[in-house]
């Protein structure tokens, strides 16, 4: 099994080198990426640029904003998002040009040094949320995957109405941890890799049991790109062992080659 994994990783690296060698000129790729990938791309982007000579112009937005921009006609070379089928409407990207790159779980955080509520089961999480004076998560209206999922969790727990008056909504992924660190919310819920870099908070665990959601992130090469080979090289690089190591260190689970 270990030999097979090493062979698969080596094959990904070989394919990446083929793509790089096939691109004679340096390109600037216009990339639209989820806010939740910011910390990963902050490291992986420069690694890709050094390895290939290509440049990345990355815009980070929520899923809802990304759908509006792409379906509104704005052009990009590569889009990195969860819920990728939404971008395939109108042939913005061909289905065979979509590659899974990573998965992300949703975690629960409190202010550093605060009491750590029991969230080990759905029933325990329900009690912790009802006991909290305030909670925060991304407004589902903004289209963020974690916010949409957690709103469904509250419905499943039967406490959606009870939580409305003590929910502090926000519109950007990185605000969850900041609001908790500042004491503006007692409990924060968001993707683990978004919470990890925020100072002043502690992640007390993932959503328990079947309340958890593994959010799948994919990279899509968009129809009409003028930088097809460079775009392929970027997607291939996101599947290399080097990129996978960064993803794991940031709290994401890289896709298996």
The model's pLDDT over 15-27, given as tens digits with 9 standing for 90+, comes to 455 454 444 478 9
Domain of residue 163, residue span: 106-211
Q: Could you tell me if 163 and 91 lie in one domain?
A: no
Q: Could you tell me if 100 and 20 lie in one domain?
A: yes
Q: Could you tell me if 184 and 123 lie in one domain?
A: yes
Q: Could you tell me if 6 and 64 lie in one domain?
A: yes
Give the residue-averaged pLDDT of 146-153: 94
| C-alpha to C-alpha distance for 70 and 32, rounded to whole angstroms | 9
Give the residue-averaged pLDDT of 164-185: 91
Give the ranges where the chain is alpha helix by DSSP (H): 2-21, 38-52, 63-71, 122-131, 145-157, 160-164, 175-181, 192-195, 228-237, 241-250
pTM of the model: 0.83
Q: Could you tell me if 192 and 135 lie in one domain?
A: yes
Q: Could you tell me if 38 and 86 lie in one domain?
A: yes
**pLDDT tens by residue, 82-102:** 877 666 665 566 666 889 999
Q: Could you tell me if 160 and 200 lie in one domain?
A: yes
Proportion of the chain above pLDDT 90, given as a percent? 68
| C-alpha to C-alpha distance for 131 and 128, rounded to whole angstroms | 5
Q: Could you tell me if 190 and 227 lie in one domain?
A: no
Q: Could you tell me if 86 and 126 lie in one domain?
A: no
Domain containing residue 169: CATH number: 3.40.190.10
**pLDDT tens by residue, 193-215:** 999 999 999 999 999 999 999 89
Q: Could you tell me if 235 and 184 lie in one domain?
A: no
pLDDT, averaged across the chain: 87
Q: Could you tell me if 185 and 121 lie in one domain?
A: yes
Give the pLDDT score at 11.
Answer: 52
Q: How many domains does the chain have?
A: 2
Q: Could you tell me if 245 and 207 lie in one domain?
A: no
Give the residue-averaged pLDDT of 19-46: 84
């Amino acid at each position: 099994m270990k030999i097979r994994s090493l062979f698969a990783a080596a094959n990904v690296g070989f394919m990446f080198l083929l793509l790089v060698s096939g691109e004679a000129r340096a390109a600037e790729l216009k990339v639209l990426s989820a806010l939740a990938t910011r910390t990963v791309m902050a490291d992986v982007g420069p690694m890709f640029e050094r390895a290939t000579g290509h440049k990345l112009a990355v815009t980070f937005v929520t899923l809802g904003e990304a759908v509006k921009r792409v379906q509104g006609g704005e052009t990009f070379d590569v889009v990195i998002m969860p819920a990728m089928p939404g971008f395939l409407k109108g042939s913005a990207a061909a289905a065979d040009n979509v590659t899974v790159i990573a998965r992300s779980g949703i975690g629960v955080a409190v202010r550093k040094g605060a009491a750590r509520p029991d969230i080990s089961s759905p029933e325990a999480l329900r009690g912790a949320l009802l006991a909290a004076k305030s909670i925060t998560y991304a407004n589902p209206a903004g289209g963020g995957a974690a916010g949409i999922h957690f709103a469904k969790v509250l419905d499943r727990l039967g406490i959606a109405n009870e939580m409305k008056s003590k929910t502090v909504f926000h519109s950007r992924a990185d605000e969850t941890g900041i609001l908790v660190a500042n004491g503006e919310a007692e409990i924060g819920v968001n993707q683990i890799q978004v919470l990890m870099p925020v100072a002043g908070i502690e992640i007390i665990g993932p959503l328990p049991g079947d309340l958890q959601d593994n959010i799948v992130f994919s990279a899509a090469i968009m129809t009409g790109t003028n930088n097809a080979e460079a775009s392929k090289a970027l997607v291939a690089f996101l599947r290399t062992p080097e990129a996978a190591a960064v993803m794991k260190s940031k709290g994401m689970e890289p896709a298996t080659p």
